[in-house]
Structure 1
Amino acid sequence: MIGRVRILVVGYRKFSELINVLLPEFEQDAEVTIVESIASGNTDYSDLVEKHRPDVIISAGANAAYLRSTLAVPVLSQPVTDTDVLEALAKARKLSRRVHIFTYADKSGPSHRFLASLPELCDLELCHHSYSTADEANESLLLAIADEDPKVIVGPSYTCGLAEQRGIPAIIMYSRDSAREMLRRAIDAGRSAQSARAVARGDRPQRFIVHSSRMERVAALARTYARGRASVLLEGESGTGKEHIAREIHRLSDYADGPLVAVNCSSIPHELFESELFGYVEGAFTSSRRGGRIGLMEQANGGALFLDEIGEMPPQQQIKLLRALQERRIRPVGGNREIDVDFKLIAATNRDLQDAVDQGEFRDDLFYRLNVFNLRLPPLRQRKEEVPAIARHYVAHYAAEYDVAVPVDAVLDLVEPLFDAYHWPGNIRELQNFTERLVVNCGKAAHVSLSRNEVLDILPELTRQDQGYASGALKDLEASAIVRAMEKFGGDRQQVAAYLGISPTTLWRRLKKLEVSETKRLA
């Protein structure tokens, strides 16, 4: 089963902070663990890899090079673009005309020719230090301090940290755009690694499991709707498997030879919408990268475009998307030519889009464009007969992944009555998490098998008395459920949304409606 990609981030302070800021954009695709460390010959990361079992590791500079040379796990390095360097130097120039810049000696970094052109271009004096290891970077910084007491440093996270410890202002050279691109590449690399392991085990990785008449109907319709270029709209609560079915539709479609490009509509900032979807040409705006960028729609050309959480897209973005879908052509930002695109469109939402149209929150013309074929996925609580089969699949899967000898039948016999009584607010995603937790704890237990009390300790959610409040269906949520959850988690909206089985955006919208209702009642 291809699940969320496990990413291990190994970095230092500013780099870790940069990655951490971006994580909410990728929470549906990746499970990220951040470890602050400087890789060196004295550090053994094999235990760390064994503990977290990452599909891919991301780091930067000398850290990434060391990890790549010592570990079998794929390691991606944070890129440094020319635009990143220019933006960092512009910030440094405000502090001092003389700037010390530290770069890792790697072909993917800024070229010496580019660096040589910067003094005249940016009206500054540039002192360039190149290093191959963290120790070399430290030594270069100490020498620079001894020679002339630098007023500002531009460099990687480690060097910036060392400079700030000595009271020297420091500007990190990595940008959010380049870090965001690296996370996307890491997710792609992680999925490839997962697929390779599945093939090595002899698996045809399953996208979803059908073990009920309701889901057999959904699967049959998915196979039918996969043909041709007509769009498909998937509706259902969070965690019901919409992305898995989208991937299956792509696999069975006439566009199977092309890529599947997934877009989380709620995570794209309004100001970046056009450049993300349509791309841009070089020089389109101040921070545009050299050579421009291919948009997500053009990337999906010849394949499928999966628009997840389409119901969260603001109206201003809806009309731009509608125009592109109607014309089947796009114009990159800053460009003067149009590009024809042809792809299978699949959209997904945990909202009732017809209801959103009736309330004026979603454009009716875009709704009709998306809703040529409609698949509504029932929540897991309405197809509980599937729970044993899905649980068996995941227990076997995670037992193989973690290399744990799990007595599958014994574990399932123990948890089946508990599972049957549970309301499943998080649907299949929650069942997947439960089975992984069980398998891992089986691996830690001295006797491998678990007692009923041990299972309840591992899965305390099964004994929640108020689980019925967390139905996950927005239309079924009562105000008291949200209020109780907000009290339970001290107002932490991320935890409340996870507890209720809805997205943070949906929770925010619901809270706004509750505020309006309370105001009207008091009036």
Structure 2
Amino acid sequence: MTERVKVLVVGYRKFSELINALLPEFSDEADVVIVESVASDHRDYSDMVKRYAADVVVSTGSNAAYLKATLKVPVVSQRVSDTDVIEALGKARRVAPTMHLFSYSGEPEPSARLLESLPELLGVSVQAHSYTTTDEAAESLLLALAGEAPEVIVGPSYICRLAEQRGVPAILVYNRSSARLMLREAIDTARAAQSVARALTESPDTGPFVIRSPQMERVSALASTYARGRAAVLLQGESGTGKEHIAREIHRRSEFSSGRLVPVNCGSIPNELFESELFGYVEGAFTSSRRGGRVGLIERANGGVLFLDEVGEMPLQQQVKLLRALQERRIRPVGGNREIALDFKVIAATNRDLRDAVTRGEFRDDLYFRLNVFSLRIPALRDRPEDIPPIAGHYLREYARQYATDIDTGSLLAQVVDRLLGYAWPGNVRELQNFAERLVVNCLDHGAAAITPQTLRDILPELIAADSSLQSSGALKAQEQAAIDEAMQRFGGDRQRVAEYLGISTTTLWRRLNTMGRAGVSSIN
């Protein structure tokens, strides 16, 4: 059964009544608490969120803007479409033909074209007002009342409440369809937040960021620097090197850290579903669309980070649609009649050479330059052997914790570390993680003592195959070791000079010395 979420609704009377009428439709999915309030510094909403254990907060207009700026939980705002406006004005027309329309300026306002056509369309006279704060809303209403003395007011719940207190009829601008869509978005947002929270507590991929090598220290420093800007970051490296982990580090250190990190696997979205998945859709957009519509992945990243994983696998026809959304920071849901303005940071990741893909015509050059403002190349694990023992130790401890075993992970690591260091790691960190889980699972009954040469052959055949491959070229290996020994003696153990003399990298030399059991030989620099 799908886990229920907890929704806190903060609003005024008419909005609260609207939401309350819709709650039976969502009773199987959410527990909803409605609090009538105008958001301000005089009330502790963080305490309210804790008291009700809310996964998400729902509000409107300036209320929602204030709560988004002050709360750490996601805040979903009720939006106003042109359809909402027309429907509300149609209701108001039954009261009087002269009316004032109020809207919050932080959301897309009714288009000028719509406002110009209303007199002919509905036979009404409409004066439009916008505001940014509740104080400004109250002031705008008082000025309207002091001037033309409107016969009816159309606006959000707070404006309606102020108008009714002064004896002026008021019509709520939101309708059931838009409120239903907002509740669906809130529930989806809460579930996404719950998934992220579970991942942070359960997944080994999220333990401290374990690095020892100078290469990864440099990557970490650059990630911290690039996190400060709002521009896109492109992560490049082989599969399994930890690009998603770097993306999470950038998200955590950025000004968008209070928003969500929304991953998108660009290579797995079918063409026919691309727009509905990324941009979302409104209710009734197509035959199989679900009631209430759906919020797209890009909109879910609003205020946070959009992580475009495997972006190099995206087909060309999808690239142009994505490019427009990234350029304009606006999207139009499928079947919708208005665009939604968004603010988010973009991180893209790929194991392909995108510049080469551009040259071959497989990747758009304009999208490449849009994504490649800042670039980070993640080195393969085989090129940073210093990281192998600490990463292996980290995963061994994490899996020991997950499987609730008190095995001596230090002793276990000591038994396999030489083989780990001699391996080429085609699967990089992800492969090392898998190896660690295999080792822990096989130690559940008898501890680290269960790992013998024979069991190791069964548990990690990849390492044994690598050893066999090396042993099959015994004569070549002996010549190589003799050359390394001679060079180490000639240059007094100076690894940099030895590597240059042999025509190999210092990393390769380090790996060869470790295989020879001489990694501890000091370097003289």
TM range (shorter): 0.5 to 0.7
Report the CA distance shift for 1:292/1:314 in structure 2 as closer, same or farther (over 3 A): same
Equivalenced residue count is 293
CA distance in 1 between partners of 2:27 and 2:362 (Å): 49
1:108 aligns with 2:28: yes
Paired position in structure 2 for 1:502: none
Report the CA distance shift for 1:391/1:321 in structure 2 as closer, same or farther (over 3 A): same
Alpha-carbon shift at residue 187 of structure 1 (Å): 7.8
CA distance in 1 between partners of 2:419 and 2:335 (Å): 58
1:192 aligns with 2:187: no
Alpha-carbon shift at residue 288 of structure 1 (Å): 1.2
Give the conservation status (yes or no) of the 8 Å contact 2:333–2:339: yes
1:499-514 matches, within 5 Å, as none
Alpha-carbon shift at residue 351 of structure 1 (Å): 0.3
Report the CA distance shift for 1:453/1:188 in structure 2 as closer, same or farther (over 3 A): farther
Q: Which amino acid aligns with 1:192?
A: A
Give the conservation status (yes or no) of the 8 Å contact 1:276–1:295: yes
CA distances 1:159-199 after superposition (whole Å, capped 9, x unpaired): xxxxxxxxxxxxxxxxxxxxxxx99998864542353469x
1:317-356 matches, within 5 Å, as 317-356=318-357
Alpha-carbon shift at residue 464 of structure 1 (Å): 2.2
Give the conservation status (yes or no) of the 8 Å contact 2:279–2:332: yes
CA distance in 2 between partners of 1:319 and 1:446 (Å): 55
Alpha-carbon shift at residue 412 of structure 1 (Å): 1.3
Give the conservation status (yes or no) of the 8 Å contact 2:443–2:450: yes
CA distance in 2 between partners of 1:421 and 1:291 (Å): 56
Paired position in structure 2 for 1:130: none
Cα RMSD (Å) of the superposition?
2.9
Paired position in structure 2 for 1:429: 430
Paired position in structure 2 for 1:454: 455
Q: Which amino acid aligns with 2:348?
A: A
Give the conservation status (yes or no) of the 8 Å contact 2:199–2:206: no
Report the CA distance shift for 1:446/1:298 in structure 2 as closer, same or farther (over 3 A): closer
Q: Which amino acid aligns with 2:270?
A: P
Give the conservation status (yes or no) of the 8 Å contact 1:208–1:241: no
CA distances 1:348-383 after superposition (whole Å, capped 9, x unpaired): 001010010111100000000000000000110111
CA distances 1:334-358 after superposition (whole Å, capped 9, x unpaired): 1111111110100000101001011
In the alignment, structure 2 segments of 5+ residues that lack a partner are 5-25, 30-186, 470-525
Report the CA distance shift for 1:194/1:307 in structure 2 as closer, same or farther (over 3 A): closer
Give the conservation status (yes or no) of the 8 Å contact 2:411–2:448: no
Paired position in structure 2 for 1:313: 314
Aligned residue for 2:230, secondary structure, equals coil
CA distance in 2 between partners of 1:225 and 1:447 (Å): 42
CA distance in 2 between partners of 1:454 and 1:184 (Å): 46
CA distance in 1 between partners of 2:447 and 2:417 (Å): 23
Aligned residue for 1:375, secondary structure, equals strand
TM-score, reference length from structure 1: 0.52
Give the conservation status (yes or no) of the 8 Å contact 2:206–2:245: no
Aligned residue for 2:267, secondary structure, equals helix
CA distance in 2 between partners of 1:306 and 1:404 (Å): 35
Paired position in structure 2 for 1:383: 384
CA distance in 1 between partners of 2:468 and 2:280 (Å): 44
Aligned residue for 2:210, secondary structure, equals coil
TM-score, reference length from structure 2: 0.52
Paired position in structure 1 for 2:221: 220
Aligned residue for 1:286, secondary structure, equals coil
Aligned residue for 1:261, secondary structure, equals strand
Alpha-carbon shift at residue 413 of structure 1 (Å): 1.4
Alpha-carbon shift at residue 317 of structure 1 (Å): 0.3
Report the CA distance shift for 1:251/1:288 in structure 2 as closer, same or farther (over 3 A): same
CA distance in 1 between partners of 2:188 and 2:447 (Å): 38
Give the conservation status (yes or no) of the 8 Å contact 2:442–2:450: no
Alpha-carbon shift at residue 404 of structure 1 (Å): 1.2
Give the conservation status (yes or no) of the 8 Å contact 1:222–1:245: yes
Aligned residue for 2:349, secondary structure, equals strand
CA distance in 2 between partners of 1:388 and 1:213 (Å): 15
Report the CA distance shift for 1:357/1:197 in structure 2 as closer, same or farther (over 3 A): closer
Give the conservation status (yes or no) of the 8 Å contact 2:193–2:260: no
CA distance in 1 between partners of 2:318 and 2:274 (Å): 7
Alpha-carbon shift at residue 408 of structure 1 (Å): 1.9
Report the CA distance shift for 1:343/1:107 in structure 2 as closer, same or farther (over 3 A): closer
In the alignment, structure 1 segments of 5+ residues that lack a partner are 1-63, 65-74, 78-105, 110-181, 469-523
Q: Which amino acid aligns with 1:419?
A: L
1:398-409 matches, within 5 Å, as 398-409=399-410
Report the CA distance shift for 1:204/1:293 in structure 2 as closer, same or farther (over 3 A): closer
Q: Percent identity?
A: 60
1:249 aligns with 2:258: no
Q: Which amino acid aligns with 2:197?
A: S
1:157-176 matches, within 5 Å, as none
Give the conservation status (yes or no) of the 8 Å contact 1:281–1:291: yes
CA distance in 2 between partners of 1:416 and 1:466 (Å): 13
CA distances 1:372-400 after superposition (whole Å, capped 9, x unpaired): 00000011011111100101111111111
1:86-235 matches, within 5 Å, as 108=28, 189=194, 191-196=196-201, 205-206=206-207, 208-235=209-236
Give the conservation status (yes or no) of the 8 Å contact 1:280–1:335: yes
Alpha-carbon shift at residue 416 of structure 1 (Å): 0.9
Give the conservation status (yes or no) of the 8 Å contact 2:316–2:363: yes
Paired position in structure 2 for 1:289: 290
Report the CA distance shift for 1:316/1:352 in structure 2 as closer, same or farther (over 3 A): same
Give the conservation status (yes or no) of the 8 Å contact 1:423–1:467: no
CA distance in 2 between partners of 1:343 and 1:267 (Å): 22
CA distance in 2 between partners of 1:248 and 1:445 (Å): 37
